[in-house]
Amino acid sequence: MTSSPSSRLPKAELHLHIEGTLEPEMIFALAERNKVPLKYASLDALRAAYQFKDLQSFLDLYYASMVVLRTEQDFAELTAAYFTRAHQQGVVHAEIFFDPQAHTQRGVAFQTVIDGLWSVIRDSETRYGVTSKLIMCFLRDQSAESAMATLESALPYGERLVGVGLDSAERGNPPSKFQAVFDRARANGLKAVAHAGEEGPAAYVWEALRLLKVSRVDHGVRSLEDPTLVAHLRDEKTPLTVCPFSNVRLRVVDKLQDHPLGKMIDAGLMCTVNSDDPAYFGGYVGDNFDGVSKALKLPQATLVTLARNSFEASFIDVTERQRYLKLVDEASHTAFVGASAEPALPNETASQLTPNPA
């Protein structure tokens, strides 16, 4: 893999679903190892299915593909592969989502999932030079009872988790549905984040803030539809974990040039840039930085601010934060925009995302 220009910029990734890093090659390798039948005859046939019309059409393939993950070793290898790629793109800290219900409901034990992830997370710093934390997400299209049962099974492993999140199909599944679950998670010392304002309305962002008491909003791009909310997010410095390639691939926006990130920054919002499900959306976090820098003509100073925000918004302690901010300051003196602004993973998606200038 070639390294992307902004890979020289140290950054934290705060919105990354580990199951969304399952690359097509790994899907086939694990299917063979675990004797799981696949619907697709070849890598090309699988990749051809990566055309999404909305969040749900992506989620259908995302859940169908992850059935190849069965053993602790599978979850460990998936996580290790992510760290290798993330490190190459300048990630020095990652706060990683996982979706336990997507595994337990098909017969994989919670312990298998958490032990596999933890075996790599535990020493990601010494093995990959990336510090990391785990955030357990609830599937919002499942019941609140199922989320509460998942929380109960996770609490004995509470030391391994920094927080809880909320993901999956947003429309019709407002944050309010999970208020009691989030209350219990926070009472047990877990931080709260939630996907809101991706496909759902700005009202869901308000609910995530007021009812779930989230520290960050995942996506949140539709917040722009409510000026009072924008002012609130700005005044409270609430971080938004924005995922530009994801928003294009899931048709939240038509093309990268139309992405509202520039407007959000101009409105004074504390934005970060992230990859969401990089194996499905055409690039890892450095590629997202390169993509928006080129498509929105963001100056280097803005990329530096985005990188600084990623540490400000992270759940690391003060000492670690200072250490990372210093790294950003040092890197800001070298040029990492320009040279080659081609995406690091020159595939079909990347070229769709960033059309070549005429």
Active-site amino acid positions = 198
* Residue 17 C-beta: closest distance to Zn ion, Å: 6
Distances (CA, A) of 73 to 105, 113, 128, 153, 211: 19, 9, 18, 21, 37
List beta partners, residue 192: 164
Q: Which is nearer to Zn ion, 17 or 177 (CB)?
A: 17
Q: Does 95 bind ligand HPA (CB under 6 A)?
A: no
Q: Which is nearer to ligand HPA, 131 or 168 (CB)?
A: 168
* Residue 175 C-beta: closest distance to Zn ion, Å: 15
13: partner contacted, choices Zn ion, ligand HPA, none (Cβ within 5-8 A by kind)? none
Give the closest residue to 205 by CA, choosing from 225, 186, 185, 191. 225
Size of the site for ligand HPA (CB under 6 A): 11
Look up residue 95 and give its amino acid. E
Burial class (CB in 10 A: 0-12, 13-18, 19+), 301: exposed
Q: Which is nearer to ligand HPA, 218 or 342 (CB)?
A: 218
* Residue 269 C-beta: closest distance to ligand HPA, Å: 19
Q: Does 168 bind ligand HPA (CB under 6 A)?
A: yes
H/E segment holding residue 120 = helix 110-121
Distances (CA, A) of 245 to 8, 126, 215, 228, 282: 20, 30, 23, 27, 7
Query: By the 8 A CB rule, do 15 and 274 touch?
Result: yes
Q: Which is nearer to ligand HPA, 77 or 167 (CB)?
A: 167
77: partner contacted, choices Zn ion, ligand HPA, none (Cβ within 5-8 A by kind)? none
287: partner contacted, choices ligand HPA, Zn ion, none (Cβ within 5-8 A by kind)? none
Distances (CA, A) of 38 to 19, 30, 34, 72, 77: 17, 10, 11, 21, 20
Residues 176-215 that bind ligand HPA (CB under 6 A): 195, 198
Give the closest residue to 41 by CA, choosing from 59, 27, 61. 27
The residue count of the chain comes to: 358
Q: Which of 7, 13, 16, 17 binds ligand HPA (CB under 6 A)?
A: 17
Distances (CA, A) of 161 to 104, 136, 278: 18, 7, 22
Q: Which is nearer to ligand HPA, 96 or 337 (CB)?
A: 96
* Residue 4 C-beta: closest distance to ligand HPA, Å: 21
**Closest residue to ligand HPA, Cβ-based?**
167
55: partner contacted, choices Zn ion, ligand HPA, none (Cβ within 5-8 A by kind)? ligand HPA
* Residue 325 C-beta: closest distance to ligand HPA, Å: 28
Residues that bind ligand HPA (CB under 6 A): 17, 20, 55, 62, 167-168, 195, 198, 246, 276-277
